[in-house]
Amino acid sequence: MPTLVELTDQHTSLSSDQVDHLVALVSEWGMLADFSFADLLLYVPVASDGGINWLTASQVRAATGQTLYQSDLVGEYADDTDRPFIAAAAQTGKIQQGEITLPYLADPVNMSAIPVVCDGKVIAVLTREVSKVTGRRLGQLERTYLSIFDDFATMISSGLFPFAGRVADSSVAPRVGDGVIVLDGSARVRYASPNAVSALHRVGIRANAVGQSLAELGFAHDAARASFERREPVVEELDQDHDVTLLVRSIPILKRGARAVNVIGGVVLMRDVSELRRRDRLILTKDATIKEIHHRVKNNLQTISSLLRLQGRRLSSDEAKAAVADSVRRIRTIALVHETLSREPGEDLAFIEIVRPLIQLTQESLQSSDRPMRFEVRGDAGRLPATIATPLSVVILELLQNVVDHAFGDSRRDGVVRVFLQRDSEDDALHIRVIDNGVGVNPEFDIAQATGLGLSIVRTLVTTELGGTIVMRQATAQDLSDAALEDGSHAAGGQPADGTSVNTVVGTVVDLRIPTDAAN
């Protein structure tokens, strides 16, 4: 379904300010529909050879009443029964009342056509449409709510609603069904809905509110005073006691006088958000606890790493020392993830904050002065859950270690390794490429057949735990060009990985694809 902005851009000549006015109106009209117990439709003028047609640009149904329309009318034009009232409202700038017929209803429908005025000009027409057939007489609540809607309709036709400038966010505000207090021009309570009375009782206010000011009741008077003074809605959260939290929204009712705009009353919507705030506090407490756990896990892993380094110093076998050193690096990588999680809110973290120190760790612990290399990271992977970030960090470490061990010989002085990160929303996956300009793998090399511990760890983590794919192949000239690496014209020596050619410098590419829903 096209949006209001799309329809106005495609079919009307309304200015951006006028469209913004309509968008602001639509953002508020869920409240208007609830006060009116009826469907509301917004019509915008569309020029044609035969005059002006009226296009339905938006539609809302009331949560307090039964809808007349089971299907959406957005994108359709007003029919012959609707058009006279809409056109009259647009031409006169005054609210029009009348009856229309719907083909699937036996009884006529009442329509109110309200001109939407912006900067003194009618830019659209809002209609209220409700069946004439009612099952019972209207009570005080219904009569009061309809009177409030009439006040807002007058404000709309006077260009006073929606409110201009900075206003409170209505998306988080209470709804009409949560509780309503109606104020007169002196901010005294004229009416309180049953749900509002219940909310007042929960905060310990049991006196009859009608006739009293909010200040006398000790409730939300600051919000009401601010909304009356500023002539705009004000949202405020009130902690009346330790157990009850109310969210209130005070909206002034305005009337344009001969010389000035006057406040003739107001509406206070309220909602009990105590349970939501208790949950928020519980989440904050749990979040702090989880952070502390990650911090302690990181400390424990660092302790284990230190103990292993001490153990490694006592070993005489070079092979055993290398194995312990590899274990220390893997543990430090996992500790790095927990250290980041101890600083981040929730269980997601910015993966780039892991990759950068991981590359620093590789530079400090793997490369030597006789074989200097540059490690770089480009791109961004966004935020990842810990269940993906932890094994993926180990995978990148193993790939970097494999590059250091096998890609460059002692005589090579210009080794470069680049890690590219890309989050692809189309296939909902994370793409990682590790590319170097060292000794390339044999064209027949298959990582699925690799027997080395490092590549076996990489293969298992990627395909089993992360549910992804991995391809390790010889780099092409295009790969090296795309990565801004040299074309491999220099000679290299040293010990290559299993199945590599010693005399050829072509570089190696490792492509990883990790589904971002791997944690599910």
Check: pTM over 0.85? Answer yes or no.
Answer: no
The topology under which CATH files domain 370-520 is Heat Shock Protein 90 (3.30.565)
Instruction: Among 3.40.50.300, 3.40.309.10, 3.30.450.280, 3.30.470.10, name the CATH number for the domain at 4-157.
Output: 3.30.450.280
> How far is residue 221 CA from its own chain's centroid?
33
Cα angle at 189 between 184 and 192, to 5 degrees? 120
Residue 410's pLDDT is 55
Residue 124's pLDDT is 96
Residue 300's pLDDT is 86
Residue stretches of the chain with pLDDT short of 50: 168, 487-504, 518-520
Cβ atoms of 7 and 152 within 8 Å: the answer is no
Rounded Cα–Cα distance for residues 314 and 372 (Å): 28
Tokens of 144: 């009061």
The helix/strand count (H/E) of the chain reads as: 13, 19
Where would I find the beta strands (DSSP E) of 132-233?
180-184, 189-192
Burial 224-259 (b: 16+ CB within 10 A, else e): bbebbeeebbbbbebebeeebbbbbbbbbbbbeeee
DSSP, collapsed to helix, strand or coil, labels residue 73 as coil
Residue 501's pLDDT is 42
Side-chain half-sphere of 191: how many Cα atoms within 13 Å? 18
Residues facing 268 on adjacent strands? 181, 250
DSSP, collapsed to helix, strand or coil, labels residue 415 as strand
Q: What are phi and psi of 122, to 5 degrees?
A: -75, 120
Cβ atoms of 410 and 380 within 8 Å: the answer is no
Instruction: With CA atoms as reference, report the closest residue to 390 among 519, 507, 288, 497.
Output: 519
Q: Judge if 4-157 and 170-272 fold alike in CATH terms.
A: yes
Rounded Cα–Cα distance for residues 285 and 281 (Å): 6
Cβ atoms of 465 and 500 within 8 Å: the answer is no
DSSP, collapsed to helix, strand or coil, labels residue 383 as strand
* Ranges of each domain in the chain: 4-157, 170-272, 370-520
- For 170-272, CATH number? 3.30.450.20
Residue 520's pLDDT is 42
Q: Taking the CA atoms of 338, 341, 346 and 347 in sequence, report the sign of the dihedral they define.
A: negative
Residue 276's pLDDT is 76
